[in-house]
Structure 1
Amino acid sequence: MRCLRPRADWGTEAMAIWTVHAPDGDLAAANAADRLVFVREGFSWWALAVPFLWTLRHRLWAVFVGWALVALAIEVVDRFGDPTVATVIGAAFALWFAVSANDLRRWTLERRGLRLVALAQGANRDEAELRFFAGTAGETHPFPSATPPAAAAPSAPSAPRRDLPPIVGFAGLTRGTP
């Protein structure tokens, strides 16, 4: 009989990327006011299982209205058209909504004035928050504002600008690698 030895990576969760959103201003002030929002990248099982409750829990009013209108249109197709077509459209819409749910949440946060300020990596939200705050400890500089300064003169063309900030707490790449 073969003896199974425990592997070093058993029991570890897959690491996920979380986007960190905050209003313009100082990091310490945003943290003190509890205005930082962490949104996980990827598929949302809750948005697949109970999309109406998921949208209401995250206060995504425009997304809820859009979801309700599409659900109503699918119901009309089911009632007055082919029920098989309505089932296929409904399943496809539910899967699309679950895949896009966190992107719709980021869109709503941006509309409310919260900007993407960092990316954090962690197995869960608590770990991502710990890594984010450990990586930004002691920083009191203001986040860059959404609008560029008016006095800035156009400069010579340079390398393409990366819009996304570095991932805080990501140990997979060393500094200086693209």
Structure 2
Amino acid sequence: MPDEQTRGLSVYGVAAMVFGVVGVAAAVLATMIWSGHRSAVAERVHQTEVLQAAADWTGLLINLNSDTAAQNLQQLRDGTIGQLNVEFDNTVEPFTDLVAKLDSKTVGQVESVSIETLQHRPGDPPGAAEPEQPELATVASRTDTVLVVATSVSQNAGAEPTTVRWNLRLDISDVDGKLLISQLEAIR
């Protein structure tokens, strides 16, 4: 009779161990799924912020008027880093003078923004691209490339309005949590 009782407990013991292993596996799987979901959500939030930064910066660029040119150009410069920032220093004053002289009025609108590339380096978070400017590698945690399509209508004093179509490729670099434009390229 003791053999039957031991055998019954043995079957229940094995069943309990199987259910225990299944429970642990389910908990590990649920944790992995939750962690993956949180990472995906964090990546989408970052991409949205990158797209917004590109749209905001381009909005300043395509809405230059003679009375706000100096302020807009300073905001554009403050939103850049690297070689683009140096180039702004060299062109801001002459461009501001030209806009004022022409009494230019420009109204523009960003039509679309999209992330062009998501490149990965070993150990980097998803979306991290290799910066083209080596000096940015030490300060930027990641760089995303964004395509921007916009249209502006510009009118100089005494001239007919001119429509300008903007097709831009911007590199947006994350520098200590601040998104800055590190490269600007016009696409034809």
Higher relative contact order (CA 8 A, sep 6+): 1
Q: TM-score, normalised by structure 2?
A: 0.23
Q: TM-score, normalised by structure 1?
A: 0.24
Higher strand share: 2
Higher helix share: 2
Greater CA radius of gyration, 1 or 2? 2
